[in-house]
Amino acid sequence: MNIAIENNNFTIDAALIAHLLDITPDAVQPLMRDGHITTRCETGIDDHRGQYRLNFFYGKRSARVSIDASGRVISRSAIVFKDAAPNAQKSQQPLQESSK
């Protein structure tokens, strides 16, 4: 699966986000539009240069999709927090937050 990258904008299949956040694909866009799903994009530096980490937060779930510069998915994961997921977690790897 690839993610389209154009002018630092990412287009990702709603089915992937839905799977990771444990919701239906039809729910993704309205929840994002209404601000219930929030996002954060991190740009790789040093050993991770040319990579991006796309983070999605919804309720108690946090999903992460790491991609390379061509949009190829390197890894994906999801976790459930005891309390509501934070909208801005501290990165555990040397990545720099994107302004987009």
Q: 3-52 pLDDT, tens per residue?
A: 999 988 999 999 999 999 999 999 999 999 999 999 999 999 999 999 99
Alpha-carbon distance 25 to 15, whole Å?
A: 5
pTM: 0.79
Buried b (16+ CB within 10 A) or exposed e, 24-36: eeebbeebbeeee
Burial (CB count within 10 angstroms: exposed 0-12, middle 13-18, buried 19+), residue 39: middle
Residues 6+ apart with CB under 8 A from 21: 28, 37, 56, 58, 61, 63, 78
- 54-92 pLDDT, tens digit per residue, is 999 999 999 999 999 999 999 999 999 887 656 544 444
Q: Is pLDDT at 1 greater than 90 in this prediction?
A: no
For residue 80, the cross-strand partners are: 61
